[in-house]
Amino acid sequence: MEFALIHQIRGRARLRSAHEFSQETAVMLADGLEMVPGVEGVRVNPRTGSVLLVYDDEDALERAAVFLAEAKPLPWRKALPVPVEKDERPSLFPFFRYVCIRPFLPMALNMATAIIGSLPFLKRCICSLVNRRLDVEVLDGTAIAVSLLRRDFGTVGLLTLLLGFGDALERYTHKKSLENLASHLALQVDKIWVRRSGEELLIPCQELAGSDLVIVRAGTAIPVDGIVAEGTASVNESSMTGEPLGVMRSEGSSVYAGTVVESGEIYVRPTQIGGNTRMQQIVRFIENTEQMKAGIQGRFERMADRAVPFTFGLSALVWLLTRNVTRAASVLLVDYSCALRLATPLAILAAMNEGVRHRVMVKGGRFLEALSTVDTVVFDKTGTLTQSRPDVAFVIPAEGQNEDDVLRLSACLEEHFPHPVAKAVVHSAEARNLHHAEEHAEVEYVVAHGIASQWKGRRVLLGSRHYISQDEGVDVSPMEEHIRELSRRGCSLLYLAIDGKVAGIIAMEDPLRQESHDLVERLYQMGIRHVLMLTGDDKRTAAAVAERLGIREFRAQVLPEDKARVVAELKAQGRTVLMLGDGINDSPALSSADVGVTLQDGADLAREVADVVLMGGTLNDLITAIELGRGVMRRIQFNYMTTMTMNSAFLAGSLFGLLQPGLSAVLHNLTTLGVCLNAMRPALPKGE
């Protein structure tokens, strides 16, 4: 098959075929790629003809490309009709029929029923053999074939009953888990108001046309992505951006499905409808991410597949030693792969579902596994540990000056400029009810330095120390003691000078997030050995912030392009690195880390490349993410040990003739059911 590389970043690549292919071909490709050394995760989409790979090194990508080039599609299966969506809830009626009705039916009818029921399993067995796979399908098919050859139709009926029930249970639990996962994000709107040909109509969503204007009033969710054609409204976009405050949207503004109008009324011309809205794209993405398999899942599945030839060999040995076909068939009916193949993905899917309920979106099982082994957490300071907006911390007047006058005059100058520092000064003056008249002349803004103006006939300067002291020659030594103390506290300083003399200092700081200190302390308590802060601040400011947060390691004056290099250095030391950042310049580091984490209100690019998104807007959700990863890995390991122990016991019983084929199948399926139910239990500690 021909595939082209359409996108690649470190450790991930997407390839696309020129044609879509069948679901059966997609399964064949996924199974084959999982066996390629170095490939850690696979997602195959038959509708778009795309293959997403997660791999260790470039050699693994080359090996995967060779496999894809040599793979043969299955056109003879592609013509099969698409199955109609139906209720796949497992029914207990087949058990009632087998126990209560079957004994009273004619032998010929029971034989025919057993043979017909066995055909799907025999067909799957043949398909696996055709594709050169020796897996559980071959094991089950062989056991059924042996029973048919022995004319043991009662055992055949019981085996097909149990295997069929197991398949139905797997499909149902898988489907329900996906539905639950998607329902937490999906927009539930059945009918909407539109203006069509001058009339207001209430219509079903599926009847919406591109020429309609969707009417959205206060308290109503916007059902489509679109452009505001008329009206003005305050829109709460927290479902999309995490920002709790409403933003004004008027004619020409873009709005998105899933956001809510808090006040006002707008008429929206749809640009994306139904399944094409950004919210529904998020839902589809979540539905697909469970296919990004964890490494432990792949290892267990390969281990289970390697056990299949062993089971065949053991069965053959039993027959050679005892010449007892019943004992040999009993051995075939006990395998390790069923529980491992079912329970592991169910545990991962359940954990992802649980994460969304707790405001943590994990984009695949591979990242849950990485979360469980993290030993180093790297924070970008600005916007992550801090609130990404400066505040006025202190106003220190010079001798002979008044604190309020210093702040009032500074705000009078700064209000003409939109940058964050200026806004912070103006906001601080407003908070103190310091009103001012426009008594200064035209303001001159010196880029990256400060402001100069005339006020009551006096020359006024406001800006950095470099601007005030070196460029303008103002002596700031009278305030040197205050300067040292404020710098030690990690503040950035703004200097005010009047007629060549320093008049005061305004100390600015990025306020720490309220939860930052407790988060760092909790990480250390959880056994995270290294917590590192990266910042572009100078070393003195960085040290002050790190001390306030309780962080023992930091790197100062780190340029944006250096963050990914720092992460790579840590990984080269053998650490499992989690990087948390929210800006566009954090994206390379997020991609380089074993787990990239961002906040819901982070930049679009950061949310795109991150492996985990904290949707609650609080850093405390990082603890939830790590505990979720640890909890699901403990669950998977427990299920693995239970599966190996119980099935080994059943295998021993079959070897020594203590278990008949039917009883072996019952016990084996009960074990599989038990570990699957255990896999779906909550992974987070109670109280989370």
Task: Write out the catalytic residue numbers.
Answer: 380
Contacts of 132 (CB under 8 A, 6+ apart): none
The DSSP bridge pattern shows strands 458-463 and 492-498 to be: antiparallel
Residue labelled with tokens 């010079």: 398
Beta carbons within 10 angstroms of residue 623's beta carbon: 19
Tokens of 665: 């199948």
Integer CA distances (angstroms), 306 to 35, 49, 340, in order: 12, 30, 12
Residue with tokens 């906001």: 427
**Residue 587 identity:** S
Q: Which helix (H) or strand (E) holds 57?
A: none
DSSP code for 382: I
Instruction: Give the DSSP letter of residue 275.
Output: G
Gap between the Cα atoms of 529 and 310, Å rounded:
42
Task: In whole angstroms, give the CA distance from residue 86 to residue 47.
Answer: 21
Q: What is the enclosing helix (H) or strand (E) of 466?
A: none
Q: Are strands 247-249 and 225-236 parallel, antiparallel or unpaired?
A: antiparallel
Burial class (CB in 10 A: 0-12, 13-18, 19+), 57: exposed
Q: In sequence order, what are the residues at sequence separation of 6 or more whose Cβ sits closer than 8 angstroms to the Cβ of residue 435?
A: 408
- Whether residue 292 contacts residue 34, with contact meaning beta carbons closer than 8 Å, is answered with no
Q: Return all residues near 196 (Cβ < 8 A) that are at least 6 apart.
A: 209, 211, 212, 213
Q: Which residue has the tokens 């991410």?
A: 289
What one-letter code names the amino acid at 494? L
Relative to beta strand 50-55, strand 391-397 is: unpaired
Q: How many residues does the chain have?
A: 688
Name residue 264's beta-bridge partners: 233
According to DSSP, the residues that pair with 634 across neighbouring strands are none
* Three-state DSSP state, 291: coil
b (16+ CB within 10 A) / e for 564-595: bebbeebeeeebbbbbbbbbebbbbbbbbbbb
Q: How far apart are CA 667 and CA 651, in angstroms?
A: 11
Written as six digits, the tokens of 20 are 């879509």
Determine the Cα–Cα distance for residues 451 and 470; give it in Å rounded to an integer.
15
DSSP state of 381: I
Tell whether the torsion through CA atoms of 75, 80, 85 and 88 is positive or negative: negative
